Amino acid sequence: MFAAYAARIDPDRPLDGLELGERPAPEARPGWSTVTVRAASLNHHDLWSLRGVGLSQDRLPMILGCDAAGVDEYGNEVVLHSVIGQSGHGVGPEEPRSILTERYQGTFAEQVTVPTWNVLPKPKELTFEEAACLPTAWLTAYRMLFTNAGVRPGDSVLVQGAGGGVATAAIVLGKAAGLRVYATSRDETRRKRAVELGALEAYEPGARLPQRVDAVIETVGAATWSHSVKSLRPGGTLVISGATSGDRPSHAELTRIFFLELKVVGSTMGTKDELEDLLAFCATTGVRPVIDEVLPLDRAREGFQRLADGEQFGKIVLRPTE
């Protein structure tokens, strides 16, 4: 079957390790389901995998992609939960959890096999392309906002780095949940898009906000860390799920954190139950993922390059050639 896969690890030039071509079709195994992929979406996780983060040389070649929607062997339209081993189903209780493609072949292919526990029904209201955007970036944003930040309607939130998948999702979900959302971006066009999606205002990174916020959604890391901490009200919460600009800020703002009793919470992906809630939320409210571009799988390199260059606004979706 045709697939996009990591053939080599290169920390400095990750796309040099990306190959497009034929790979073996997945084999049936007890407790697992084989899904014919109709749509899969790109994440920064895929770029990190090509750099060797979470993916070791001995597991190559590895088909990339952790998000997908498709049709299972019984003809059901389904969405995949990307965290393997979270419950022990399909892998045994001793295996630690992992994100798809860290241990098992991924979704950038015509077919993928995952534990049956990881297969959820796709709401009929969502297209395959829309559903494929939810299991990583949108689930991450959902958990950051509603589980780890604990915000309620009427609260205020700052979303750093508008345009990225998680940040875009946080803006849309926050607006739909009745939050007052502010956003930042270096790019004027992205700031305008953020406002169109529901942000009250969008600012350049580091700009002073009209008020201190209840929570900050942080995925940028070092470049925005100090601003994130300074933007919180006393007792506020900073939730971080990524560090695309690096993980070593020049100013950790430790004094401000302890003096104002701020909370810093790490967040990774989400649970199957949270994905079910997110799917239902989108189906019932009309909220839909922001899709930057849909490409056939044989043009996956273009999508990877766009993601690596930071040119996308929302999700890039790959569709296997039908």
**What is the model's pTM?**
0.92
Q: How many CB atoms lie within 10 A of CB 101?
A: 26
pLDDT digits (tens, 9 = 90+) for 308-317: 998 888 899 9
In the 8-state DSSP scheme, what is residue 227? Answer: H
Q: Would you state the structure tokens that stand for residue 112, as one six-digit string?
A: 């993928």
Predicted confidence (pLDDT) per residue in 138-188, tens digit? 999 999 999 999 999 999 999 999 988 899 999 999 999 999 999 999 999
Residue 238 gets which letter from DSSP?
E
Percentage of the chain surpassing pLDDT 90?
Answer: 88
Residue type, 188: E
| DSSP percent split of the chain into helix, strand, coil, nearest 5 | 30, 25, 45
Tally DSSP H helices, then E strands, for the chain. Answer: 9, 18
Q: Which two tokens stand for residue 223?
A: 């470049």
